[in-house]
Structure 1
């Protein structure tokens, strides 16, 4: 094992389990799906129950997929789509910095996932175990992996916003 492969493992697991925890929390924490659905409705993601389930499922699947390094560009695309939607609907108006609830954290999660898709999941991954030496190997890492993560993520996030996002009406205070 090299330091490179071990470092990728640490990054994948930390990033992936962080995202999976967000999905788990939507399913089982606090307000669960009904509470999350109400919040989604309030920010303009309608129907709220649909989006709560989609977000929770995508967060868990993308997080676990990245953590184990399985078809790495696909869960990385999930990160991109999730973080694009979150940044646009919740954090955009607050500016960049997270201390003011800006989109800084969303950017870091998406970019880290894209970087992993480009680098590949490393030798300590299911990608390596299943695809090393096969025709799929070039699609789960390198330029193709990076392109898949970015393209699928942007299409997913922009598509979701275009189809479902209806910003709440502004009220004068």
Structure 2
């Protein structure tokens, strides 16, 4: 096994693990315990209003970004989805708890976002739809390297910050 094949396999392993983990979160919002109505109530309670809208958007984005990253399709775009989702989650739910996940902090959100963005830099690799469909295409350079990295970070930050600026209304503190 040569170096390039090992790198491509490593990218595949990371993409599929991250992607299916994110897609599972979206699936759970649609079909788990409280389903969309329960998720909507939770979104309302954390200040993301209207909750029903955000439940649907979050669940759909988690599934789309997760599956897009897993199969390596237009990789910087699903990576941007990870950034936006994890920025909103970190800010609305985990920020007040500090960094460490053991205290329900934002550590996990950071790892998921950075891992997804890190895939956008080298690209999805040889075992991806990007390679299968777009290898040699005139816009292939946008799917990796500095372009892929900047698209993932920039689009993700714009999406996450935009969602927070437009929709987030912190719940009133009681006590």
Q: TM-score, normalised by structure 2?
A: 0.97
In the alignment, the residues of structure 2 paired with residue 61 and residue 43 of structure 1 have an alpha-carbon distance, to the nearest angstrom, of 23
Query: Aligned to 2:57, what secondary structure does the other structure show?
Result: helix
- The 4+ residue runs of structure 1 with deviation greater than 6 A are none
Return the match for 1:74 from 58, 72, 77.
77
Tell me what 1:167 maps to. 170
In the TM superposition, what whole-angstrom CA distance separates every residue of 1:89-110 from its partner, at most 9, and x where no partner exists?
A: 0000000000000000000000
The reply to whether residue 127 of structure 1 matches residue 169 of structure 2 is no
- For residues 25-104 of structure 1, the aligned pairs below 5 Å read 25-104=28-107
TM-aligned CA deviation for residue 168 of structure 1:
0.2
Which structure 2 segments of 5+ residues have no match? Answer: none
Residue 26 of structure 2 is matched in structure 1 by 23
Alpha-carbon deviations, 1:3-27, whole Å to 9, x = none? 0000100000000000000000000
How far residue 126 of structure 1 moved from its aligned partner, in angstroms, is: 0.2
**1:53-87 per-position Cα deviation (integer Å, ceiling 9, x unaligned):** 00000000000000000000000000000000000
Instruction: Please report the TM-score for the alignment, with normalisation by the length of structure 1.
Output: 0.98
Pick one of 111, 116, 120 that aligns with 2:119: 116
The CA deviation at 1:137 is 1.0
Q: Does 1:10 align with 2:13?
A: yes
**Which residues of structure 1 form unaligned runs of 5+?**
none
Tell me how far apart the structure 2 counterparts of residues 130 and 167 of structure 1 sit (CA, whole Å).
44
SS in 2 for 1:71: coil
Aligned to 1:143: 146
